[in-house]
Structure 1
Amino acid sequence: MRTTWLSLLLFAALTVSVGHASAGETRARQILDRFEHANQWRDHVMVVAHRAGSMQAGKTLYAENSIAAVEASIALGAEIVEVDVRRSKDGQYVVMHDSWLDRTTNCKGEVVKRTLAELKTCRLVIEGTGAVTEEPVSTLREMLTATKDRILVNIDNKLDVDSLAGMIAVARDLGMAEQVIVKENLWNPARITAVKAAMSAIGSGFQFMPIIADDAVRDAGFAEKVSGAFSAPAIELINWRAGAETLTETGGPLFSPRMRAAAIRGDWHIWANTYAIVNKPGGFIAGGRGDELAVLASLPRETYGFWAERGATIIQTDEPKLAIDWLAANSYRVPYPDEARPANTASIN
């Protein structure tokens, strides 16, 4: 239970006292304080808006990876927006999930075969309704400019690991590298070595988060090795689920008491995902306990509450409004200096 989980903090070797963010700091700085100091904020669950946060209550309201979606996520109080980055034909970084334009814009063809000027003629569409918006495909620079000092940005790199250097260079040029989180999958010692070399070549001043999935890793000991290699403020854990499986009762091998203890010792967040993957069963990367369970079955406690009880202090979701509202109403969120405390309207679901 949550009380048991929080009591594990008594065993943390916490020798440095870190002050909480003040009201005079930017919103991004306040969020960064909580992201960088996990053990200081175990009583707060941060929310990440997947693909910038396009959905509410099962309906797509904004084009994914759009600045309009980012603005909505900021207004909701999300701490991080996740966006996907690819490269145009002329080498410019653009915000786009698919390698093809067909699903998310009114254009067709491969992203990499269009120049930036050509991509700028494409307009983002709202999936489901097919409504064409006025917003063009964004460059990474435009996206980061829109988010600067307001929210953290998690870049999902759709290219090779060496491309991260160029993406961080854009953030550095804007003076906001520390507000950017990049991530890579890790599954064995060789991969740790390769990614560590790539991160070292980029330098410091940005946030790196490893990803570990239980299709390849089933032991918290590997996460401890990763934590030692990178000193990361968070590790993303994935509980894969086959179509015929029932809802996970434990969170899988990675969401274990040993993992939670390792997170405390290493002072890092456990990051869980509840968003859906196209053409996969509901909750595919959440042991069945994904956003569909929260929305369609009206069981947010069995989704967001479940992962919070198993140590997650960051949850990435397609439903940021529902997640924030439920977590706040059930005492899983601590208001920021400029926020009012939520009314005592705890959900029974």
Structure 2
Amino acid sequence: MRTTWLNLLLSAVLALFTGSASADETRARQILDRFEHANQWRDHVMVAAHRAGSMQARKTLYAENSIAAVEGSIALGAEIVEVDVRRSKDGQFVVMHDSWLDRTTNCKGEVVKRTLAELKTCRLVIEGTGAVTDEPVSTLREMLMATKDRILINIDNKLDVDSLAGMIAVARDLGMAEQVIVKENLWNPARITTVKAAMGAIGSGFQFMPIIADDAVRDAGFAEKVSGIFSPRAVEMINWRAGSETLTDTGGPLFSPRMRAAAIRGDWHIWANTYAIVNKPGGFLAGGRGDELAVLASLPRETYGFWAERGATIIQTDEPKAAIDWLAANGYRVPYPDEARPAAEPANTASIN
């Protein structure tokens, strides 16, 4: 009897200690736990905000790739922000999608022809409205400092694959390499060899995510090979769509039952993209089932629900609020310790089936 009571007391103390440790975890650590253990969190769909998350209900609220947009995505509860990285004339990593400054800043010309000091005189512009903000072009270091311990950051490398080493070095210097996801396209054995060599030169302690597109890869076998070589925690799947093609009703070859089985065996997330591409049909990366269908046509179930049911446990979107709200209200998100569970499904969830 005494042994039993001692065991119970020990268990209670251990539970108290564990609870305290959990409460002290940073938000990024809680997110990272779900990112690194896909099989334990198949009932939760993570949301990645494209270009830091500048849009709500088709209205651009923040400049893309801005720290203001990051703050907005964190407030919404997104788990990942995706940003684009280029290099200045003097070799500094800066956050910018286009190779030219004209669209997203009040400056003109090529990014690579401006020094960092010159780029710092440029102010980000809110696309669509043309409003000039007070925020200058950010360095990668500044962007990482804004996200540290708060959210994961996905770097879209606009340079060569060897440049990733320098980007990870910046993250390591800030003590946050594990919170950084870098990614590269893989399409054949030669490309795998090139990227594997680059990743090996960088070492460990960060997240590498392969990107696979269905214009080059038609089945899960390639993903299984990639999984065996890189042991990723997520694989980004691109579902291309020609302009005249109808909505996919299957998810395409990369969202097949075999791919879902491969993801489970490899313990990695399937990452889907619903964001728009300029001058392309809606849902160009999502078989027509993109953010436009969810928001403009008021059919979120046919977008976010469709991809979740086909195995996606991370969705990258231009509409993080719409995605989070619908996924949470329909049982596709498990609340974090400091979040409340939503009460009901939002309106406008009609089906096209």
* Global fold match (TM > 0.5): yes
Q: Secondary structure of the residue that 1:182 maps to in structure 2?
A: strand
Displacement of 1:279: 1.0
Give deviations 1:55-88, integer Å, cap 9, x for gaps.
0000000000000000000000000000000000
Structure 2: stretches of 5+ with no match in the other structure: none
* Contact 1:330 1:347 survives alignment (8 Å): no
8 Å Cα contact 2:47/2:78 also seen in 1: yes
CA separation in 2, counterparts of 1:258 and 1:332? Answer: 22
TM-score w.r.t. length of structure 2: 0.91
Counterpart-to-counterpart distance in 1, 2:45 and 2:14: 20
Cα separation, 2, equivalents of 1:7 and 1:252: 53
Structure 1 residues 36 and 343: CA distance shift in structure 2, 3 A: farther
Instruction: Measure the CA separation in 1 of the matches of 2:213 and 2:111.
Output: 28
Q: Does the CA contact (< 8 Å) of 1:329 and 1:344 recur in 2?
A: no
Q: SS of 1:270's equivalent?
A: strand
1:66 corresponds to = 66
Two-structure CA RMSD over aligned residues (Å):
7.7
Q: CA deviation at 1:236?
A: 0.3
How far apart, in 1, do the equivalents of 2:249 and 2:19 lie? Answer: 37
For each residue in 1:262-312, what CA deviation from the matched residue of structure 2 results, as whole angstroms up to 9, or x when unmatched?
A: 000000000000000111111000000000001110000000000000000
- Are positions 1:89 and 2:78 aligned together? no
Question: Is the 2:302–2:352 contact (alpha carbons within 8 Å) kept by the matching residues of 1?
Answer: no
**2:232 is aligned with 1:228:** no
- Aligned partners of 1:329 and 1:346 also within 8 Å: no
Give the match's secondary structure for 1:15: helix
Q: Which residue pairs with 2:199 in the alignment?
A: 199
Shift of 1:21: 8.9
Change (3 A) 1:46 1:195: same
**Cα deviations by residue, 1:141-163 (Å, 9 ceiling, x for unpaired):** 00000100000000000000000
- Counterparts of 1:2 and 1:233, CA distance in 2: 46
Q: Against the structure 1 CA distance between its residues 291 and 263, is the aligned structure 2 distance closer, same or farther, given a 3 Å change threshold?
A: same
Contact 2:298 2:349 in 1 (8 A): no
Q: Percent identity?
A: 92
Kindly indicate whether the alpha-carbon contact (under 8 Å) linking 1:235 and 1:269 is maintained by their aligned counterparts in 2.
Answer: yes
Distance 2:225 2:78 in 1: 30
With normalisation by structure 1, the TM-score equals 0.92
Write out per-residue CA displacement over residues 90-138 of structure 1, whole angstroms, 9 at most, x where no aligned residue: 0000000000000000000000000000000000000000000000000
Say if 1:339 and 1:137 are closer, same or farther in 2 by CA, change over 3 A: same
**Offset, 1:346:** 12
Q: CA deviation at 1:17?
A: 19
Cα gap change, 1:9/1:77 in structure 2, threshold over 3 Å: closer, same or farther?
Answer: farther
CA separation of 1:291 and 1:210: change in aligned 2, threshold 3 A? same
Residue correspondences, number: 349
Largest Rg, 1 or 2: 2
Taking the aligned partners of 1:7 and 1:300, their CA distance within structure 2 comes to 50
Q: Report deviation, 1:190.
A: 1.0
Deviations 1:286-340 (A, max 9, x none): 0000000011100000000000000000000000000000000000000001111
**Equivalent residues of 2:27, 2:150 under 8 A apart:** yes
CA, structure 1 residues 84+331, in 2 after alignment: closer, same or farther (shift >3 Å)?
same
Moved more, 5-14 or 209-218: 5-14
